[in-house]
């Protein structure tokens, strides 16, 4: 029996990426930031529906998030209206499109789910838009708190309506 040359010899070691994380206090509670040291993958709060939780093997590395922490501090101080960070959220093409559309909702403004559906190029998919908004892994950074009900009501925030209220008040909407 002949063994193909490609399967003979040692195999190259595989590298498993390590998730880095840090936490920081904020006006909406403790924030958990995760990433790979290059891009921010998630920003979540305790009790967030679908939010990240620290897993075994993750490494606390505050220095990897220096710029994100600086920009968040400026935002909460009222000195920053947009974020300029490399982002690496994981999601389907549809969710990525919705999350990108969130970036276009200006500071101090709101949009309805229907309006966001139109902006994301899926005007007939309001319910699916709601699901994508609810699974946004980058709270605050990707401003899903700016999405409201058609009647102007505060609805559907995975971090909790009180946090949504706090963020909208900070931005002068409420």
Instruction: Examine the residue annotation and report whether 33 is marked as an active-site residue of this protein.
Output: no
Query: Could you say which of 52, 144, 148, 167 is catalytic?
Result: 144
| All residues at 6 or more sequence positions from 79 whose CB lies less than 8 Å from its CB, including other chains | none
Phi-psi region of 123 (alpha: psi -120 to 50; beta: other; left: phi over 0): alpha
DSSP labels, 35-80: E-SSSEEEEE-TT-TT-----TT-EE-GGGGHHHHHHHHHHHTT--
Do the beta carbons of residue 99 and residue 140 sit within 8 Å? no
In this structure, what are the phi and psi dihedrals at residue 152, rounded to the nearest 5 degrees? 90, 0
Nearest-angstrom CA–CA distance, 98 and 136: 9
Catalytic annotation, residues: 144
């Amino acid at each position: 029996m002949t063994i193909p040359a490609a399967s003979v010899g040692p195999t190259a070691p595989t590298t498993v990426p390590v998730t880095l994380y840090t936490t920081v206090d904020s006006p909406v509670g403790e924030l958990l930031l995760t990433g790979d040291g290059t891009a921010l993958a998630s920003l979540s709060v305790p009790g967030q529906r679908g939010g990240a939780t620290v897993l075994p093997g993750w490494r606390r590395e505050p220095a990897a998030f220096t710029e994100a922490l600086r920009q968040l501090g400026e935002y909460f101080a009222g000195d920053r209206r947009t974020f300029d960070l490399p982002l690496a959220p994981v999601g389907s093409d549809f969710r990525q499109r919705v999350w990108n559309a969130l970036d276009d909702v200006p500071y101090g403004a709101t949009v309805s789910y229907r309006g966001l559906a139109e902006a994301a190029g899926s005007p007939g998919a309001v319910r699916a838009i709601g699901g994508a908004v609810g699974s946004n892994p980058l709270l605050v950074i990707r401003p899903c708190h700016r999405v409201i009900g058609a009647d102007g009501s505060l609805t559907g925030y995975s971090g909790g309506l009180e946090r949504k209220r706090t963020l909208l008040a900070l931005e002068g909407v409420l």
